[in-house]
Amino acid sequence: MNAAKPLDNFPLVRSRDIEEVREAIARIYAKPALVPAPGVKALDATINNCRLQDIDLTYGAFGAAIEIEFPATGFFCQLFPIRGKGDVIIGSTPTTLTAGGIAVVPADAEVSGKYSDDYEYLVLRINARKLTEKLAALTGAAIQEPLRIEPQQNWRHPASQILQQYVPLLIDTLSDANPPFPEWWIAQTEQLLMTLFLCGHCHNYSHLLEQDVPDAAARQVRQAEEFIVANAERAISLEELAEVTGVSAFSLFSAFKKHRGYSPMEFVAQRRTRQGKIR
């Protein structure tokens, strides 16, 4: 059972001793109430913790059935169970954690739960104050009311999926890395994680992040391209493309320039030469 675990190059604790594990967790979060299940004498805990700046990533396994209670820490946490099972209450919401599942912990929520002896997990933790600053920077809005992220989320939403796929990739990268990382590398990685986190969850400021549907333009470009390909045998005017896509000729032109780097008419010309040659 000595297979490499995620983030093994950032060991926090390897211990059978309950108090030692408690103390180790207290060094990174807050001291938890940690109680082994009846009959359990010792743990076989492995906890790894990679701290960037305002974000950290943790891998943990306790090696015994336990109950554990965390106070609120001022961090948003995303939990990625990778083995075993946990029955937890996040704030006041009961949740079952199983491999492949996911959960988010609001910054002001306590988490308590019982975990199976084979439970293993990854956690992404983001400083709530820094995340709020990032939100303000992205949207340009003044953030008065605290950022609230409800535990129930649509985890199948594409924006959430990107975060779910990205975190394991980053953990892989970190697990292969030789720390220390350059500060500017860390800073950029944190910016990306915070952005993915804010866009990947539904929260009380989501509407600010959605107001500008970014890829409407790209959709028009694709529509126009399909039309051009389908009608490559005849002359097509920019106005006709504008009509098909339902936007002005000018915005279609700018959308092409922006998303493709060339104009719609250049694309038309290119398709037409091609058509001519094939025949």
Partner 1 sequence: MRSTRPLDRFPLVHTQNAEEMCAALAMIYAKPKLSLEGRSNEGDATLNYCLMKDIGLGYSKYGIGARLAYRESDFTLQTFPLRGRGEATLNDLAIQVGPGRGMTVSAGTSYSVKYNAGYEHLVLVLDTSVLTDKLIALTGRSASRPLRFHATGDEVRPAAKSLRDHFLFLVETMSTSAAPLAKWVLAEFEQTLMVMFLHANRHNYSHLLEDAPADSAPRQVRRAEAYIEANWHRAVILEDLAEVSGVSALALLRSFKKSRGYSPAELLNRVRLDHARELLRHSDAATVAGVAATCGFADLARFENVYSLAFGERPSETLRRGAGAKPAGF
CB of 131: closest distance to partner 1 in angstroms?
13
Q: What's the min distance (Å) between Cβ of 185 and partner 1? A: 6
Q: Any contact of residue 214 with partner 1 (CB under 8 A)? A: yes
The answer to whether residue 138 forms part of the interface with partner 1 (CB under 8 A) is yes
SS (H, E, C) the chain: CCCCCCCCCCEEEEECCHHHHHHHHHHHCCCCEEEECCCCCCCCEEEEEEECCCEEEEEEECCCCEEEEECCCCEEEEEEEEECEEEEEECCEEEEEECCCCEEECCCCCEEEEECCCCEEEEEEEEHHHHHHHHHHHHCCCCCCCCCECCCCCCCCHHHHHHHHHHHHHHHHHHHCCCCCCHHHHHHHHHHHHHHHHHHCCECCHHHHHCCCCCHHHHHHHHHHHHHHHCCCCCCCHHHHHHHHCCCHHHHHHHHHHHHCCCHHHHHHHHHHHHHHHC
Interaction between residue 233 and partner 1 (CB under 8 A): no
Q: Does 251 bind partner 1 (CB under 8 A)?
A: no
Nearest-angstrom CA–CA distance, 105 and 261: 42
- Of 212, 234, 246, 279, the one binding partner 1 (CB under 8 A) is 212
- Residue 263 CB, shortest distance to partner 1, in Å, is 10
CB of 22 or CB of 134, closer to partner 1: 134
Closest CB to partner 1 among residues 39, 214: 214
> Does the footprint of partner 1 cover residue 223 (CB under 8 A)?
no
For partner 1, the closer of residues 64 and 236 by Cβ is 236
When asked if residue 141 is in the footprint of partner 1 (CB under 8 A), the reply is no
Shortest distance in whole angstroms from residue 123 CB to partner 1: 21
232 binds partner 1, rule: CB under 8 A: no
Residue 140 contacts partner 1 per CB under 8 A: no
**CA gap 127, 7 in Å, rounded:** 20
Nearer to partner 1, 18 or 52 (CB): 52
Residue 140 to residues 89, 146, 264: CA-CA distances in angstroms?
35, 16, 33
Site string for partner 1, 164-203 (x = CB under 8 A): -xx--x--xx--xxx---xxxx-xxx-xx--xx-xx----
Q: Does residue 253 interact with partner 1 by CB under 8 A? A: no
Q: Which residues bind partner 1 (CB under 8 A)?
A: 138, 157-159, 161-162, 165-166, 169, 172-173, 176-178, 182-185, 187-189, 191-192, 195-196, 198-199, 209-210, 212-215, 218-219, 222, 225, 258-262, 266, 270, 273-274, 277-278
